[in-house]
Each structure stands twice: as structure tokens, then as C-alpha cells.
């Protein structure tokens, strides 16, 4: 009897100390906030406007290759502990294969520790920048996310580790490593956590995002995880272990001999689930994304009638936002400072090395880094009146058959050449210098010699205006997209109501479909006289928000080529009086 009791106690202790990883599910978020598979056909990598493209040396991807990744929020359903009070650390590692050196190509971010957290709460952060804004320098981005849980009372080693991380975070910017030394410290801490605390691992995810590239073959049979602008939700289904699930050995009845050990473990499992922190039934069930949507509050659950039930609390989840665009100059500045930071670090480690030549080398290194920062932040920017979203637009039907494209640039930039590359055979455009001043130039775009129009037919056309320039002896190129089209008009777009509850509709969303590839011309949009935010996904435009107004609603749209129109839609009938 004593032996049986000892065996049961041993099983119980093992169960209390174990923390199986469970199953991780990844979903992307569509325009309506619903969850869907993040995998897409590889054909999307070629021309999807939301894709982040790999940086090309010829400048053809300029503006489409900058991105940033944010950890928006997180809900922590279950953290394996003894007393219900937890300390949590997020470790995120990003790798782009650029130099072939893992030390140089990997950036590690540490968030936390966040102290005194109970189970079933949102983590105490919002919109934490994990990576970027930076240019996509590789064809793949590897992202590894690990979430660790500590209990100060459980282990002296855990307590010492937390104290070290806290003190190090005060001295080093671990949540935003800048210098080479800080990046090395962040990586060493991540490695130490990985080796010493795998049993405290709450979540573990390892994914590869694929960047856009025109060299991919268009295929509808291969699926990839694209690096594209949007939201990604990561959900964890808890796993079973001994003394946490009643049918652990019998596998829900599929393994009948397992009923015997399940019977003997009935009392220990009951005591374990009653007195020890273990996953509940909802966190152990298979994850299903029906009736789930992402709102500003986070991952939200809705009933069958479309009414919100509040935050989704059945499982642990993280929400990431991938943002396309931004200013990558700060990232380049940090990289430029790495060599001088390394030299200073070596100097401080060896007091005997304070010699004149060493100090001169460091001063020269700082001077070179400063110059590199100036070079990295110097860029050519378009200032044309007929430009929007980084694109220069030309009205296909304008009477004067000419268009002015203006650019500005810092004083240390020297424009060496400009040229036009047509993407359509029917495009006949040439450029000539119109005016030039310090830090600015304007060019007149006209039809090719002997032509009376920019295009030989009425179809929209596109081109690239390439600006070759020199910065302190370094040659660079800026590619400015050109679109030749007609003004937006009412016939180009159609309106659609999306009712959140078709039975008794009380609120709705509005989607606008672009039938003639003119959505990028839109500069502003209003609904019933009020300016309204909107988002674009290919040729679909979604008005931001949920609307409740009844009766006809007038949508007004303005375009960069001075085109404008109004369109009316009625989603919910006015109540009868």
C-alpha cells in the first residue's frame, strides 16, 4: 500500500511540474476582422500590393521593401505555476540571411519581465515594436517567439535570473537593442533562458515569412506564408499530461487498455485539477476560429447573431501587426554605429590600450559612422502636385499633353541622370529638365517625339522614373512609379453593404470595389459629409468602422487627378413611422 501511495504521489508531482507545449495555431486577419489561413498561393508574391518585397539594387522595390513588426497585445490564459502569481518574459528572435553570419544577421528582442501576473489577463503592454522599420534585405524572415513563465518562490535560479535581467535592462536597452554590445547581451540572455528554463516555456513558435519577388513563378498549387501588411493571430491549445486529463491513457476511448491506468489516476487527477493550477476544459479543446474576429480591443468572440461576447478568453493568444512602409533610416543608423561601438567596448575592457593611436581610430570611426548616417538618411523624395502614395499620376485625357514631376533632396545629393522605363509597350513618354535649384529639380514629362498622347490606346499604362544620384562617392538609384490613367469616376467603383447580422440588421460595414484599377488615386473619402478613414486590399476598399445610420448614405470620393464623384447606398431601411 505504501508503494502504491508513493507511486501516486510521484505521478502527481511529475504532473505538477510538467508543462506540455500543446498545439499552436496561426491565423491572418482579413478586412472584416475574421480569421483565415495565413497561407496564400505563391502567385501573390509577385504582384500583391500588400506584400513586402525583397530590396533590389536597381531601386525597383523602393518603398515596397520597408516594414515593421509590432506585438500589439496578448492574452495569457494559463501559466503553469503553484500560487497563481507569475512573472513573464517574451523573447523574440528575427533572422534575415544577409551576410551569412548568424551573429550579424540575427536580432533578439526581450520584453519583460512582467511581474505579479495572474492567469487569465492581458499582458501589460500595447503595440510593442519588435523589429524595424527596416528594409527587407533577404528573401526569408525567420521569426522565433518564446514566452517564459517564472515563479520567484519556486527556484532560487529563477529569482537570480529575473534580478539579472531587470538590472541588465536598466543598463542596456534590451527591449530595443541598439549598440553591438546590447545586441550581444540580449542574445546571451535569450540563450541562457533557452538552456535553463524549457520547462517554463509557455509558447514556442518558429515561422519563416517569404518576401515578395518578381522572380517567383506564378502558381496556384504551392502555398507559402507571405511577409505582408496585416495582422497575425497566434493561439495556443494547451496539451494534456499525466494527472491533468482524465482520459490521458485511454485517449478518449480509442485506447481501451488505457482505461486501467486512467482509473488508478482518477483520484490524483481530481486532486490535481482541484488544488493545482492546471488547464481547464476550454483551453484543452481544439481551436476553432468560427465566431471570432479581431477588433481594436483584441481577439473578440461573437455569438451566432453577431453580438459581441467580449474578449476571447478560452486560450492564450498573441496578436502581431506587420506594417508596410515607414522610415528605415533609424535602422540603418544603428547598423552604421556597430563598428565604433565594438571598438569602444574593446577599449573599455583593456585600460592599458588608452593610447593616442587607439583614440584617433575611435574618433575616426565615429566620424565615419556619422557620415554613414547622413548618407543612409539622404534620399530623393517626390513633391509633385499630382502625386499620391508615392506614385506620380498623369491624366490620360489632359489637354496640354505634359506633366511636371518634381523631386527634392539633401544638399549632399548630386543628381547624375534620369530615365524612363516603360512597363507597357503602348507607353510613349519622354522626360526633360524643366527647372533646377539647390536641393530640388523638376522634369517635364511629354509624349515621345511625333506622338500626340502618352499612350497609343485608352488603356491605363505605367512606367518608372529612375533617378540616379551620388552621395559622397556612392552611387544610388530611386525608382518613382508613374501611372497614366483617367480621372476616377462613378462608373469605376461599386458599393456593397456587409451586414453583421442578416436576421435583424442593426449595424454594418461598407466595402467599395474598384473595377478599373484606380483606387490608388483616392486622396480622401467621406460618408454623409464626414471624413472617413479607409483601408485598401488590392482593389477592395473598406471603410473603417461599424455604422448604424439608417436610410440612404452618400459616399464622396476625391482623387489626385481632380476626379470626384458621389455614390449613394442604403444598408438598413429607415424605420417606419
pLDDT digits (tens, 9 = 90+) for 366-398: 556 556 656 656 678 888 888 888 888 888 777
The cell for 373 is 548616417
Q: Residue 229's pLDDT is what?
A: 93
Q: Would you list the DSSP string of 506-525?
A: --EEEEEEESSS-GGGEEEE
What confidence tens digit (pLDDT) does each residue in 496-520 have?
A: 888 877 666 778 888 999 888 888 8
Q: Each residue of 232-260: b (16+ CB within 10 Å) or e? A: bbbbbbbbbbbbbbbebbbeeeeeeebee
Order of strands across the sheet that contains 429-437: 381-382, 403-408, 440-447, 429-437
Q: What is the mean pLDDT of residues 520-546?
A: 85
Bridge partners (DSSP) of residue 558 are: 524, 564
Q: Do domains 381-485 and 490-570 have the same CATH topology?
A: yes
Contacts of 533 by beta carbon, 8 Å cutoff, 6+ apart: 543, 544, 545
Q: What is the mean pLDDT of residues 74-94?
A: 77
Hey, which bits of 486-563 come out as E strands? Answer: 493-499, 508-514, 522-527, 530-531, 534-537, 540-543, 552-559
Q: Would you list the DSSP string of 272-296?
A: HHHHS----HHHHSPP--TTEEEET
CATH of domain 381-485: 2.60.40.10
| DSSP code for 238 | P
Lowest mean pLDDT among 182-196, 440-454, 497-511: 182-196
Cα gap 533→199, rounded to integer Å: 46
Q: Residue 351's pLDDT is what?
A: 45
Q: Give the 3-state secondary structure of residue 351.
A: helix
CB atoms under 10 Å from CB of 55, counted, come to: 20
- Helix (H) / strand (E) containing 181: helix 180-196
Q: Residue 3's pLDDT is what?
A: 46
Question: Over 80: is that where the pLDDT of 406 sits?
Answer: yes
The closest of 489, 564, 552, 485 to 524, measured between CA atoms, is 564
Contacts of 147 by beta carbon, 8 Å cutoff, 6+ apart: 74, 88, 89, 90, 91, 201, 202, 203, 204, 318
Q: Supply the pTM of this predicted model.
A: 0.56
The closest of 434, 443, 437, 439 to 469, measured between CA atoms, is 439
Label residue 338 by pLDDT band (50, 70, 90): very low
CA atoms within 13 A of residue 507's CA, in its CB half-sphere: 8
Q: Give the 3-state secondary structure of residue 89.
A: strand
CB atoms under 10 Å from CB of 560, counted, come to: 22
Q: What is the mean pLDDT of residues 127-131?
A: 89
Label residue 74 by pLDDT band (50, 70, 90): very high
CB-based contact 105:96 (threshold 8 Å)? yes
Question: Over 50: is that where the pLDDT of 91 sits?
Answer: yes
Q: Would you list the DSSP string of 300-340?
A: EEE-TTS-EEEE--SSEEEEEEEEE----HHHHHHHHHHHH
> Which residue has 497575425 as its cell numbers?
232
Q: Which residue has the higher pLDDT, 333 or 166?
A: 333
- Helix (H) / strand (E) containing 120: none
Helix axes 156-171, 180-196, angle to 10 degrees: 170
Measured over the CA atoms of residue 347, residue 348, residue 350 and residue 351, the dihedral's sign is: positive
Q: How large is the C-alpha radius of gyration of the chain?
A: 29
Residue ranges of domains in the chain: 2-237, 329-377, 381-485, 490-570
Label residue 302 by pLDDT band (50, 70, 90): very high
Q: Residue 187's pLDDT is what?
A: 55
Phi-psi sector, 14: left (phi>0), alpha (psi -120 to 50), beta = alpha
- Helix (H) / strand (E) containing 213: none
Q: Give the 3-state secondary structure of residue 454.
A: coil
Label residue 5 by pLDDT band (50, 70, 90): very low
Q: From the options 3.40.50, 3.30.70, 2.60.40, 2.40.50, give the CATH code of 490-570.
A: 2.60.40
Question: Over 80: is that where the pLDDT of 200 sits?
Answer: no
The cell for 241 is 499530461
Q: What is the mean pLDDT of the chain?
A: 76
Question: Over 50: is that where the pLDDT of 1 sits?
Answer: no
Question: Over 50: is that where the pLDDT of 353 sits?
Answer: no
> Which residue has 451566432 as its cell numbers?
304
What confidence tens digit (pLDDT) does each residue in 21-67 have?
A: 678 899 999 988 999 999 988 888 887 888 999 888 766 677 788 99
Amino acid at each position: 500500500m505504501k508503494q502504491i501511495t508513493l507511486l501516486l504521489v510521484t505521478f502527481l508531482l511529475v504532473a505538477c511540474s510538467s508543462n506540455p507545449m500543446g498545439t499552436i495555431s496561426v491565423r491572418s486577419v482579413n478586412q472584416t476582422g475574421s480569421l483565415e489561413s495565413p497561407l496564400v498561393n505563391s502567385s501573390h508574391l509577385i504582384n500583391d500590393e500588400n506584400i513586402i518585397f525583397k530590396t533590389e539594387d536597381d531601386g525597383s522595390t523602393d518603398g515596397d521593401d520597408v516594414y515593421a513588426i509590432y506585438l500589439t497585445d496578448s492574452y495569457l490564459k494559463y501559466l503553469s505555476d503553484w500560487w497563481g502569481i507569475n512573472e513573464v518574459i517574451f523573447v523574440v528572435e528575427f533572422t534575415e540571411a544577409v551576410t551569412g553570419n548568424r551573429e550579424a544577421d540575427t536580432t533578439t528582442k526581450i520584453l519583460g519581465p512582467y511581474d505579479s501576473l495572474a492567469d487569465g489577463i492581458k499582458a501589460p503592454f500595447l503595440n510593442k515594436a519588435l523589429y524595424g522599420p527596416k528594409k527587407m534585405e533577404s528573401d526569408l524572415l525567420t521569426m522565433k517567439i518564446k514566452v517564459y513563465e517564472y515563479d520567484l518562490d519556486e527556484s532560487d535560479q529563477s529569482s537570480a535570473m529575473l534580478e539579472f535581467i531587470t538590472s541588465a535592462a536598466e543598463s542596456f536597452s534590451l527591449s530595443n537593442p541598439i549598440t553591438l554590445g546590447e545586441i550581444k547581451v540580449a542574445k546571451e540572455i535569450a540563450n541562457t533562458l533557452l538552456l535553463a528554463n524549457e520547462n517554463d516555456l509557455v509558447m514556442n513558435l518558429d515561422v519563416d515569412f517569404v518576401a515578395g519577388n518578381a522572380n517567383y513563378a506564378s502558381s496556384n498549387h504551392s502555398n507559402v506564408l507571405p511577409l505582408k501588411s496585416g495582422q497575425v493571430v497566434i493561439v495556443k491549445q494547451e496539451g494534456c499530461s499525466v494527472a491533468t486529463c482524465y482520459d490521458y491513457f485511454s485517449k478518449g476511448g480509442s485506447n481501451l487498455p488505457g482505461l486501467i491506468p486512467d482509473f488508478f489516476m482518477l483520484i490524483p487527477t481530481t486532486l490535481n485539477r482541484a488544488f493545482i493550477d492546471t488547464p481547464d476544459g476550454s483551453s484543452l479543446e481544439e481551436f476553432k476560429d468560427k465566431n471570432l474576429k479581431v477588433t481594436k480591443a483584441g481577439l473578440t468572440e461573437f455569438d451566432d447573431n453577431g453580438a459581441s461576447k467580449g474578449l476571447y478568453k478560452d486560450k492564450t493568444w498573441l496578436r502581431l501587426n506587420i506594417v508596410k512602409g515607414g522610415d528605415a533610416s533609424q535602422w540603418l543608423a544603428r547598423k552604421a554605429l556597430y563598428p565604433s561601438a565594438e571598438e569602444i567596448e574593446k577599449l573599455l575592457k583593456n585600460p592599458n590600450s588608452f593610447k593616442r593611436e587607439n583614440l584617433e581610430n575611435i574618433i575616426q570611426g565615429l566620424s565615419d559612422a556619422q557620415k554613414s548616417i547622413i548618407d543612409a538618411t539622404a534620399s530623393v523624395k517626390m513633391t509633385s502636385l499630382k502625386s499620391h502614395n508615392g506614385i506620380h499620376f498623369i491624366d490620360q485625357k489632359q489637354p496640354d499633353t505634359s506633366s511636371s514631376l518634381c523631386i527634392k533632396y539633401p544638399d549632399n545629393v548630386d543628381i547624375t541622370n534620369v530615365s524612363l522605363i516603360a512597363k507597357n509597350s503602348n507607353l510613349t513618354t519622354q522626360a526633360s529638365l524643366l527647372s533646377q535649384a539647390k536641393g530640388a529639380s523638376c522634369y517635364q514629362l511629354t509624349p515621345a517625339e511625333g506622338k500626340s498622347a502618352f499612350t497609343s490606346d485608352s488603356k491605363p499604362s505605367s512606367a518608372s522614373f529612375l533617378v540616379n544620384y551620388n552621395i559622397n562617392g556612392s552611387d544610388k538609384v530611386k525608382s518613382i512609379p508613374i501611372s497614366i490613367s483617367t480621372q476616377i469616376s462613378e462608373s469605376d467603383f461599386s458599393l456593397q453593404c456587409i451586414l453583421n447580422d442578416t436576421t435583424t440588421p442593426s449595424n454594418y460595414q461598407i466595402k467599395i470595389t474598384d473595377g478599373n484599377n484606380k483606387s490608388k488615386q483616392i486622396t480622401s473619402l467621406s460618408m454623409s459629409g464626414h471624413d472617413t478613414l479607409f483601408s485598401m486590399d488590392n482593389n477592395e476598399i473598406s471603410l473603417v468602422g461599424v455604422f448604424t445610420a439608417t436610410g440612404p448614405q452618400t459616399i464622396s470620393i476625391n482623387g489626385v487627378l481632380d476626379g470626384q464623384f458621389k455614390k449613394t447606398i442604403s444598408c438598413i431601411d429607415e424605420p417606419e413611422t
